[in-house]
Amino acid sequence: MAGMTVYEAIRTRKSVRGFTDKPVEGDKLQRILEAARLAPSARNLQEWRILVVTDAHKRQALANAAGGQAFVGEAPVVLVCCAETNHHVMHCGIKSYPIDVAIAIDHMTLAAVEEGLGTCWIGKFDPAAVRTVCGIPPEIEVVQLLPLGYAADPRVAEKTRKPIGEIVHYEQWRPGLPS
């Protein structure tokens, strides 16, 4: 799939909840991690930290920590997306680390599509259990889990999204009016 445009990656990315047992090649994994490294961050703090988990027992324990979502443990790789943060608050009043980690994750999900791999953002998990499984110290924030691997069903899924006129406004907010 190499050489696809970013728009093709956006159109074809889907949440994968079924993985084959084919291992993820090291060079593909490194390119996906490099995509996270190149992500922008507030004040260039680069607080994201990614823990790569390939051990089958740990992946199963992460699936249990994710409310028993078995597919998390079936993925050959689980990326535990964290932040080593000073809890910087942007001028708008929002902490920067969750947003910055999310940008890095999004970079990884799109890079994964280009590499022929699938991912699924996992926000349903017990952070304390993930910390125990992975030996993550208390000062590190666990933000998301990202299973990574080859989709058991590689077909492109049709996306159900609101029309652009319902989500985009121009110049000022106009509720109920088409943009």
- What pLDDT was estimated at residue 52? 98
pLDDT at residue 5 above 80? yes
- How many percent of the chain have pLDDT more than 70? 97
Determine, yes or no, domain membership for 150: yes
Determine, yes or no, domain membership for 177: no
Structural domain containing residue 134: 6-167
Q: 56 with 19: CB under 8 angstroms?
A: no
Tokens of 134: 């992975």
- pLDDT-derived band at 103 (thresholds 50, 70, 90) equals very high
Average pLDDT over residues 138-153: 97
Determine, yes or no, domain membership for 175: no
Average pLDDT over residues 105-134: 98
Determine, yes or no, domain membership for 10: yes
Query: How many angstroms separate the CA atoms of 133 and 27, rounded?
Result: 26
Give residue for tokens 């590499």.
115
**CATH number of the domain bearing residue 56:** 3.40.109.10
Answer with the residue of higher pLDDT: 174 or 2. 174
Determine, yes or no, domain membership for 149: yes
Average pLDDT over residues 136-156: 96
Determine, yes or no, domain membership for 174: no
What is the rounded average pLDDT for all residues in the chain?
A: 95
User: How many domains are there within the chain?
Assistant: 1
Determine, yes or no, domain membership for 17: yes
Determine, yes or no, domain membership for 1: no
